Every structure is written in structure tokens, then in C-alpha cells.
Amino acid sequence: MEIHFLGAANTVTGSQFLLITDRARVLIDCGMFQGGPHEVVRNRVPFAYDPTSLDAVVLTHAHLDHCGLIPHLVAEGFNGPIYATRGTIELATLVLLDSGKLQEEYAKRHSHWAAKNPDKAAREDQRDEAEIEAQEQIAAQEEAAAAALASTGAPVASIGAPVGLHAGDLTPDGHVIASGVDELALHDEQGLGTRMGYPPVGHPDHDAAMAGSPAHPNLVLEEPVYDLAQAQTSLTHFHATTYETPLDVAPGITAVFHDAGHILGSSIVELRIAAQKDVPARTIIFSGDLGRTAAPILRDPAIISQADYVLVESTYGGREHEPEEESLTQLEQAVKDIEATQGVLLIPSFAIGRTQEVVWALRHLLDAGRIPDVQLFLDSPMASKASTIYREHTDYYDADTLALLKKGEGPIDYPEAKETPLAAQSEAIERSKRPYVLVASNGMLTGGRVLNHLRTLIGDPKAMILFVGYQGEATLGARLQAGVKTARVDGQEYPVRCAIRSISGFSAHADESELLAWLGNFIAGRKAGDPGVPRRVFIVHGDPDAQAALEPKIQALGLPTMAPHWHQTVVLD
């Protein structure tokens, strides 16, 4: 029995793990790589296996970096079932259809630019092909090493360097353009264009728009990884399951989905593998993305206390979140401040998970009499659709949220909130009576309608931009957080006169203390080698610095660890 680490290895994104036994081949997640060129290009590297050989796919949740390559997998020949919770399937439908459509549109726009700039396009193509070849060579080296050492049963040593920041890389969403002219960017609520490596071409003044951007543009090929039709086809493979219900997903492999508390329907996946020739029955836990303890709306991550192997995320290794009350107090103060100045509070927020939590917090503060009753605008069509799915799946709610429902209070419904599905409605917001709060996608200022509002408000001393999530390095959001005095919007420099504030406590990821507390359940009252104590904890879904900070603390619990590299194979005994 062996596991291949084909994504989320020494990097946060691209979740993909292949479990091979004597009787079956099961893929856990099939996510997109996002970020700089050395990561984005890996979406173009051929799968490390024949997709037709897979028995099943098991999906932890609906974020793009966990499900984003499923349409590509199906297009390449996978014809089996994809198991996930019903909440995950409904959210993944939104995410994948949006991804396929946007990839088509970005590829067409890039093709149009390439036709006008053939020399530049040829140079980019040569660079792209060289980078893909380099990544394929790294993958091939890892696979060759695995084949050479598989017979020893020892973990395979890594050859490839960890995916981190490299000189000349664009870190997540490195190309930033905020433009009322760039209509495609305004539809991109997931920030897919910049995350997938499409530069902001198709702009009336492309050179001006690119001025001041990092020296090397993101990697891009003219063809989308998959299109809308392929995304639609992939949805026919989904099969719904429920939490805590054993499900036979492949010969000799039973899956149990546990609540991860990250976003609606998110799961910790437990795989129970029947005994094989020389290996006794084993249990492997895949944490997926773990949510926070005592976070609003959803239940806490399920406590699991026995496993032979654990794969644990490490996104927030070395970092702690603000306490919930501190975050609420900061949000309260921001609303009071814009009410006092008759201003505007702009909250950039991703559509799935974060927006629903922000609305919950505003409703909580309003009901407690801590903030004035200011107008709230929700300017994100995808967030509106996601919120509808959240409202329809109350079975995922925690006890506190269910208690609110019984009293007739909608936990993600703010009184008199105005949703603006039409573009004309979105444009009319700036003419509304102040003060008001505006939540718009996306959360890093790299796409979506928030860009139009940013252009209007960034120079307004009575406006405030409140960040409630992580801002990728080199994004406009990160620059504003760093205190820049001017910002390039639409190729023009604008003075930053609005207030800039940040709250870190709204993250949907467990912080370091919460990760360690969850892992502590596997060894509480026991020691390494005792029944049920993991033989090894594999640290995944984290950048190298986060993993390096977390690993010795996991070891201090008494648990052996490993932080695998991309395409590394480990034999499980």
C-alpha cells in the first residue's frame, strides 16, 4: 500500500493524494494549483496516473484548490464515482461551472491579445513550455525514485525542491488590475484569472495596466485547462453521502466523512483499508481543511482519536488568530466610525464561507445593540447563490445557530440587506445615501465587483477598506495593508486617502493551537506505538515556513512526522 503526494505538498494549493492498494486506486481531492508560475504551471503537467485506472475520487470540500481539476480529470478519461457530502456537491457546482466559463473567456481574450502581439506571444509560449518541461522532470525524478525504493518499504526521499517563493515568481495573484473597463475581471469573483496565471490582457492600454507589475508575467497557455461543457459533464459523476455513514468507495476501502467545520459540507475523510497480503487493516485520516473551534454557523471539527496515518493541513502553522470577541469588537468599531463620518465601509470578501460569516457577525452585533442599523449591500452574485445553499442546509449548523432559527432569526440574514445581482444595481450603490456597509467579492481585490467600488472609494477620506482575510503577497490588498500611499488602478496612480484596517479572526482555517489540539486527540493518554496512535503524521497543505514552524510541535506531542514533497511516494506498512 502506498500514497502519492501529487499536490498540497510544501504548498497550500493543488490538493491531490493517490492511495494505491493491492485491490484499488482512490484519489483524495483533485484541486487546482494557485499562486506563482512554479505552482500554476503544475495544472498543465499531465496526471501522474492513468485517470481511467481510478476506482473513485473522494472530495473533502468545494474550494477550488481541492476540487478545481475534477473536470480535467473526467475529460482525461475518469469514469468513476466522485463521493462528497451534499453541501459540498452543491457548492462545487457553483465553483466548477464558474471556473470552466471563466477559463474559456480568459483563454479567448489571451488568444486575441496573442494575435495582435505574435512575437511576445511566441516568447511566452517558449517560456511556458520550458517551465512545464522542468516541472515534468521534477515529477519524473520523484516517480523514478519511488520505483527504485518501493521494494524496500522505506519512505521515498525527495528530489524536487519544495514549492516556495522563487526569485521572479508572482506570489498569489501577483498581477492586479482594478478596472471598471475590464468587464471580465468584474465577473471573476474567485479571482480565477490571476490565480490561474492569466495576465490582464484585453485592456485598452495593456502596457500601462502592466506598469509597475512584477518583472515576469504569470505563465499562461492559450487553451483553458477545461471549459464550461467539461465542467458540466463532470458534475454527473458526483454521488452524495452524509456524515458518519460508512461507505464502500472501492474494493477493500470504506470511507467515513466527518464534519471538518471549514465551509458548508466540508469533511475530514477517514479511509478504512482492509487487510492485504503483507499489511494488516489500516485507517488513514485526511484532515482536508480544518475549521476553527467555536466559529459561528457551522459545527466544530469532529474529534477523531484513532488512526494509523494522518494527513493534516498546516496553512496556519506558526500563526494564531485573534479571539472572536476581539474580531467582533474591531468590526463594531469600524461600523461606528463610518457611521460617525457618514462614510462607506467596504469589506472585500470571498463568496463562499467568508461572506456568510461576515454577515453573521454584523447581524450578531446589530441584535446585541452594538452597532447602528446601517444599510448593508451584498454585491456578489456568487455569494448570494452560496448563501441560498447555506440556508437550505441547516443540518450542517451548530446548536447555537439552530437555536436562532427556532426563534425565527436567520443567522446569515441581515435586516433590509440589499443584494445586487444585476450590474446596473451594483453601479448604483455609489449613489446611495451614506453611511452604508458594502460586502463585495473577491477578498484579495484581484477580481469581482469589488474592483469597481475600490476605484471609487480608494481616494475617499470618509471611506474605509476592512480586510477580513489573508492577502496574498504582492496583491493590491497586501500592498494596501502595508501602508502604500498610492495604488495603481487601471494603469493610473491614485492616492490612498481611505482608511485601511484588517481583522485576522475571520479565517475559516484552524490556527496552530487548534491544529495541535485536534492532533492531540490521537495520542491523549497514550504514547507512540500504542494501538490507535498514528504511526506517522504527514504535514500537507502549507507553505514551507508554516510546516517548519508546526512540525516540531507535532513531534513534541509524541507523533512522528513527515512533510512530503510534490510527487513523493511513501509506502505504508
pLDDT digits (tens, 9 = 90+) for 477-498: 888 999 999 987 656 688 999 9
282 strand-pairing partners: 273
Q: How far apart are CA 437 and CA 335, in angstroms?
A: 8
Strands of 536-540's sheet in order across = 247-250, 253-259, 267-273, 282-286, 309-313, 536-540, 561-562
pLDDT at 223: 80
Specify whether the CB–CB gap between 10 and 163 falls below 8 A: yes
Cβ atoms of residues 38 and 127 within 8 Å: no
Q: How far apart are CA 246 and CA 450, in angstroms?
A: 43
pLDDT of residue 556: 97
Encode pLDDT of 54-65 as tens digits. Answer: 999 999 999 999
In eight-state DSSP terms, residue 152 is G
CA proximity to 565, closest of 162, 106, 121: 162
Q: What are phi and psi of 23, to 5 degrees?
A: -120, -15
Query: Cα separation of 303 and 518, whole Å?
Result: 7
Report CA torsion sign: 441, 184, 384, 343.
Answer: positive
Buried residues in 327-363 as b, exposed as e (16+ CB within 10 A): bbbbbbebbbbbbeeebbbbbbbbbbbbbbbbbbbbb
Nearest-angstrom CA–CA distance, 55 and 465? 48
Contact criterion met (CB below 8 Å) for 548 and 524: no
Q: Which residue has the cell 519544495?
A: 162
**C-alpha closest to that of 212 among 486, 27, 444:** 486
List the one residue out of 22, 194, 9 whose CA is nearest residue 106.
194
What the block records as the C-alpha cell of 247 is 461507505
Q: Which pLDDT score, from 0 to 100, does residue 159 have?
A: 32
Pick out the chain residues at pLDDT < 50: 150, 153-182, 199-220
| Residue type at position 501 | R
Contacts of 132 (CB under 8 A, 6+ apart): 41, 44, 45
Instruction: Tell me what pLDDT residue 146 has.
Output: 53
pLDDT at res. 207: 39
Flag whether the pTM goes above 0.85: no
* Residue 379, φ and ψ in degrees, nearest 5: -110, 75
pLDDT, residue 145, reads: 61
Query: Please, are residues 159 and 141 in contact by the beta-carbon 8 Å criterion?
Result: yes
Q: Work out the number of other CB atoms within 10 angstroms of the CB of residue 529.
A: 8
